[in-house]
């Protein structure tokens, strides 16, 4: 997720985050569960660690790399 966010300088819409991360995730990590829930839980953990932050623009969440990610 951090790598994908690093590729998107302006951040990425939360709605697009799972699709952006899907190709680099191993299916066995989330097999039998929802990819969206997996990505959401990882995003929340990274937010708590200060590695990512979110903004809201026109009711849509954008996820960005945080200052702790560098």
* Residue 57, pLDDT score: 81
pLDDT digits (tens, 9 = 90+) for 9-60: 788 888 888 888 877 776 666 666 788 888 899 999 999 999 999 999 888 8
Cross-strand partners of 57: 60
CATH code where residue 61 lies? 1.10.10
Give the residue numbers spanning the domain of 62.
Answer: 2-69
Whether residue 63 contacts residue 10, with contact meaning beta carbons closer than 8 Å, is answered with no
> Count of domains in the chain?
1
**Separation between Cα atoms, residue 50 and residue 26, nearest integer Å:** 25
**Whole-model pTM?**
0.77
Closest CA to 24 of 5, 48, 44, 37: 5
């Amino acid at each position: 997720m951090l790598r994908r966010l690093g590729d998107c300088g302006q951040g990425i819409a939360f709605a697009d985050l799972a699709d952006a991360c899907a190709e680099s995730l191993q299916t066995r990590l989330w097999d039998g569960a929802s990819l969206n829930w997996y990505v959401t839980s990882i995003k929340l953990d990274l937010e708590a660690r200060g590695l990512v932050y979110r903004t809201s623009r026109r009711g849509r969440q954008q996820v960005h790399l945080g200052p702790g990610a560098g």
